[in-house]
Chains A and B, each alone.
Chain A
Amino acid sequence: MTRSLALRTAVVTAAFFAFLELLGARQHVSALSGTVTDRAALFLGLLYALTFFVVVLLLPPLLVTGFLMRRLESSAARR
């Protein structure tokens, strides 16, 4: 994992999550309890839930890793 990969992954995942949010996918997360009416809703709901968990669990440490690595690299370059 590199600094740019960490930051890129974080930004792309966050953007994808925002896109799903705008699409209204949140209302289909009832897929998690088996309360779904069709396959498209099931897919969208599960995708939304999965992306949400990635955003919440992994994004903050990923972002901080990216920023800290950038700081370290730039201070190393100055030396």
Chain B
Amino acid sequence: MGKRRVGSVVLFVVLLGAWLPALQLVFAPPPRAVLVEQLARRQAVVALRDESDERALLRRLNPEWDLMSRTFGVLAFTNLALSEPGRADEHLAVADALIRQTLRDEQRGHLFFLLPYGRREPFHDDAQRSLFVDGELALMLAARQTVRESPEFRTALRRQVDEVARQLEVAPLHLAESYPDEGWTFCNSIAVAAVTLSDRIDGRSHRELVDAWLASVKTHLVEPRTGLLRSSFRHGGAPLDGPEGSTLWLSAHMLQLVDAEFAADQYRRARTLLGHRTLGFGWAAEWPAVLRNVDDVDSGPTIPLVEANAGSSGLALLGAAAFDDDEYLDALVTSLGFAAFPVRDETGLRYAAGNHLADAVLLYALTEGPLWKRASATPMLTRTP
């Protein structure tokens, strides 16, 4: 190789070394308020339609994603209703539309939101119900009623909370099934958050049940090498999958309503073992390095070498926001500008690398706060159900 060639390679490497740290400035996100406004506008457009291409695509790929996009949508718009009281009616109209559609679709059968393997065998639960569906619906209703009570949803909330509480009560170790013989920490933590949120507004108390669930989780679901919660288990509590980022970030946030100290500990551990931040960009791995696993449909693909996982990185936004980890949140949002391919049009903002669910998660992450604060500020009544 001639001197000139060596010189040009060295020059290229030096320039690359100067360019990479500057990239974060190129992809610096707009102010959060702008992002929220643009994302919310598009989410509202889709939510207010009974059917949409976005939702049809989610259903085709994974019916769970359809339900989850509605849950995160309701959580986002109820938070917006609290943070922008002048536009509360407008935001609640979006949340209400999502809840009505979900109550309607749930009538088509409880398996409507489950992947086909949900039909392969019966649930151990006598009522043949999934905590995934009942828990998310309960959380939507509890969030809505926490902002402002509507007579339309009063009975539905009580019915859903009763159903969720029943499932948690009768399940061995209080760990209920999302699919036949398969329970998820994600769904159990959502269900318990829904019950806790509901208790603060309807005057009942499920504290005994919640305490029993929490004790069971700490005893049976904590993976000993990492101290992180396992993501799934068999009916009866036998371990299935180990800790996964796409479960942990969300579960830690839900646990804030139930046991703030335990929740913060889970976040700190997940941040250490799964979170990454380099040159102003942030991402998250799905599995701790000490516990390898395989891709599954909920995790999404992982980019090798850097271990950046789509599902975990998306939900890490929520974890970072919920635990006021601003540096990590900024880094994650910067990564969205770089690697998630933002598309802006007359309907607002979406990220082409993701889907409608991912956009809903992001919107919730950026609006999160007021609802949990209100729940924490409301004194809990202690009347037993």
Contact = CB atoms under 8 A, between A and B. Distances in A.
Interface of A: 1-3, 6, 26-27, 29-30, 32-35, 37, 49, 52-53, 56-58, 60-62, 64-65, 68-69, 73
Nearest to A35: B355
Contact of A2 (B5, B18, B301): B5
Contact of B352 (A2, A27, A37, A64): A27
B286 to A, nearest CB: 12
Contact of B8 (A1, A34, A35, A58): A1
Contacts of A3: 8
Given A34-B300, A56-B338, A57-B20, A68 B11 contact: yes
Given A2-B4, A57-B20, A61-B19, A35 B57 contact: yes
A58 B16 CA distance: 7
A52 B297 CA distance: 26
B301 A69 contact: no
Interface residues of B, number: 33
Given A29-B341, A35-B355, A69 B300 contact: no
A65 to B, nearest CB: 4
A27 B57 CA distance: 14
**Secondary structure class of chain A's binding surface, majority of residues:** helix
Contacts of A73: 4
B12 A32 contact: no
A26 B355 contact: no
B355 A33 contact: yes
Nearest to B65: A35
B8 A6 contact: yes
B8 A69 contact: yes
Contact of B354 (A35, A49, A69): A35
A58 B365 CA distance: 32
Contact of B301 (A6, A32, A57): A32
Nearest to A58: B16
Contacts of B170: none
Contacts of A62: 12
Contacts of B20: 57
B10 to A, nearest CB: 10
Interface in B10-54: 11-12, 15-16, 18-20, 23, 26
Contact of A29 (B57, B300, B352): B352
Contacts of B314: 33
A10 to B, nearest CB: 11
Interface string B141-163: 00000000000000000000000
Given A1-B9, A33-B310, A52-B341, 9 more contacts: A29-B341, A33-B301, A33-B355, A33-B358, A37-B61, A57-B19, A61-B12, A61-B19, A69-B7
B310 A32 contact: yes
A6 B16 CA distance: 13
A26 B343 contact: yes
Contacts of A32: 301, 310, 339-340, 353-354
In this complex, the member of A35, A52, A58 whose beta carbon has the largest number of chain B beta carbons within 10 angstroms is: A35
B359 to A, nearest CB: 11
Interface in B328-361: 338-341, 343, 352-355, 358
In this complex, the member of B12, B26, B314, B354 whose beta carbon has the largest number of chain A beta carbons within 10 angstroms is: B12
A32 B353 CA distance: 6
17 contacts: A1-B8, A2-B4, A26-B352, A29-B353, A30-B355, A32-B340, A33-B354, A34-B297, A34-B301, A34-B310, A35-B57, A35-B355, A37-B60, A56-B26, A57-B20, A57-B23, A62-B12
